Structure 1
Amino acid sequence: MARNRQTGTTVFSFGVLAAAIGFAVYAHGTQTSFGVSRYPLSANFVSANGLNAGAAVDIGGVSVGRVSDVRLDLQTQMAVVRFEVNDTLHFPVDSVLSVGSTTMSGDNALMIEPGKSSQLTKAGDVLTNTREPLSLEQQVSNYIFGNGGLPVN
């Protein structure tokens, strides 16, 4: 009887360990794309409020990378956002980067609006054409009215 209990405990322990490993692999998989090479970029923001490491990097509503780090530059007092994008994607260096969400219920993402420059991004570039995160009121307005009634440039 004691031997059966010890065997049951051992089997249960291995089951818990397997479940924990499975969850760790799943969690890692949501933060990376297996088999997809990425290259690093960074951007300086006046505020990166609501953006966290692991957030998606989106172009046109399509996830093309991940935010790897958000920290404060003590010299400039600006938020430095480090991120990686798919290696097959190089976009104009004058692209506009902003922090926001494509839906009201979604997590914040680093959103890229492609620019028009003929010079494309490469590994290690620091992008400077950034916008501050939109207020909740502006996000609601954008959600309801498209661009919030603002003139399009």
Structure 2
Amino acid sequence: MARNRQTGTIVFSFGVLAAAIGFAVYAHGTQTSFGISRYPLSASFISANGLNPGASVAMAGVVVGRVSDVRLDSETQLAVVRFEVNDTLHFPIDSVLSVGSMTMSGDNALMIEPGKSSQVTKAGDALDNTREPVSLEQQVSNYIFGSGGLPVN
């Protein structure tokens, strides 16, 4: 009887271990894209409120990378965001970066609005054309009291 209990305990322990390993692989997979190489970039913001490592980097509503680090620069008192984008994507160096949400209920993401420069990004570039994040309350207010992005008659 004791032998069966010990065998059951061992089998259960391996099951729990296998489930933990499976979850770790799944979690890592949601933060990386296997087979897609990326290159690093950085940008400085007055505020990176709500932006965390692992957040999406999006352009035109399409996820094109991940935020790797958010830290405070002690000299400039600016939030420095390090991120990686897909190696096949080289966008204009004057593109506008902002912190926002792709949907009203989604997590914050680093949003890229393409610029017009003929010079494109390369690994290690520090982009400086950034916008301060707009709060959800301000976005709703802009929509209600402003044009909300709709054509004005």
Is the contact made by 1:141 and 1:147 (CA closer than 8 Å) also made in structure 2?
no
CA distance in 1, matches of 2:147, 2:69: 29
Task: Indicate the residue corresponding to 2:90 in structure 1.
Answer: 90
Aligned pair in 2 of structure 1 residues 147, 122: CA closer, same or farther (>3 Å)? farther
Q: Could you tell me which runs of 5 or more consecutive residues in structure 2 were left unpaired when the two chains were aligned.
A: none
- Distance in 2 between residues matched to 1:18 and 1:86, nearest whole Å: 32
Identity of aligned residues (%): 87
- Residue 104 of structure 1 aligns with which residue? 104
Does the CA contact (< 8 Å) of 1:104 and 1:139 recur in 2? Answer: no
Is the alpha carbon distance of 1:49 and 1:77 closer, same or farther for their aligned partners in structure 2, counting shifts above 3 Å? same
Q: Distance in 2 between matches of 1:120 and 1:66?
A: 19
Deviation for aligned residue 1:150: 9.4
**2:35 paired residue number:** 35
| Cross-structure match for 1:45 | 45
Q: Please tell me the residue identity of whatever aligns with 2:20.
A: A
Question: For this pair of structures, how many residues does the alignment match?
Answer: 151
TM-score by length of 2: 0.93
Q: Which amino acid aligns with 2:98?
A: S
**Structure-to-structure mapping, 1:139-150, within 5 angstroms:** 139-141=139-141, 148=148
Q: How does 1:4-153 map to 2 (within 5 A)?
A: 4-141=4-141, 148=148
Q: CA deviation at 1:135?
A: 1.6
Instruction: Find the aligned partners of 1:150 and 1:75 in 2 and give their Cα distance.
Output: 41
**Alignment check: 8 A CA contact 1:41 1:124 kept:** yes
Q: How far 1:16 moved relative to its partner?
A: 0.0
Q: Structure 1: which 5+ residue stretches go unaligned?
A: none
2:14 & 2:29 partners in 1: Cα distance? 22
